[in-house]
């Protein structure tokens, strides 16, 4: 796929695997477990985002084990919509123990068997 020469350059990932982040607009936090350098989800998912807040596709997107006040779930979020989390509290998600080993404020340590 050729990039539009007028488009801004693709940015580098600002966050890393294991980092705890929060959504800039919505009330949830999560821990990053995977990073796509550019959008890699379905067109149907992308089109479901209201046009006025739909993010550009040419930026990193993050897979999160996320939580809000009601539940835990998996989220897919653009870099422009993430901020570092300031709470220094762990995330309450049932899949964390399978991927991560230990929590330090702001970051989980990836289990050795998941590193590459």
For the chain, which residues score pLDDT lower than 50?
1-3
Task: Write the DSSP symbol of residue 15.
Answer: S
Decide if 8 is inside a domain: no
The verdict on residue 109 lying in a domain is yes
pLDDT at 1: 43
CA 103, CA 36: separation in Å to the nearest integer?
23
pLDDT of amino acid 10: 59
Quote the domain boundaries for residue 92. 20-114
> Whole-angstrom Cα distance, residue 72 to residue 28?
9
| CATH code at position 43 | 2.30.30
13 within domain boundaries: no
Domain total for the chain? 1
Q: What confidence score (pLDDT) does residue 7 get? A: 56
Tell me what pLDDT residue 6 has: 57
pLDDT the model gives residue 113: 86
pLDDT of residue 114: 81
94 burial (CB, 10 Å; 0-12 / 13-18 / 19+) is: exposed
The pTM of this model reads 0.88
């Amino acid at each position: 796929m050729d990039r539009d020469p007028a488009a801004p350059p693709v940015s580098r990932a600002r966050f890393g695997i294991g980092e705890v982040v929060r959504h800039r607009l919505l009330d949830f936090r999560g821990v990053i477990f995977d990073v796509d350098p550019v959008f890699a989800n379905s067109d149907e998912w992308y089109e479901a985002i209201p046009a006025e807040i739909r993010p550009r596709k040419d930026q990193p997107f993050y897979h999160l084990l996320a939580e809000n006040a009601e539940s835990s779930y998996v989220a897919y979020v653009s870099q422009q919509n993430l901020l570092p989390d300031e709470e220094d509290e762990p995330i309450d998600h049932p899949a964390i123990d399978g991927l991560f080993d230990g929590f330090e404020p702001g970051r989980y340590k990836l289990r050795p068997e998941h590193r590459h």
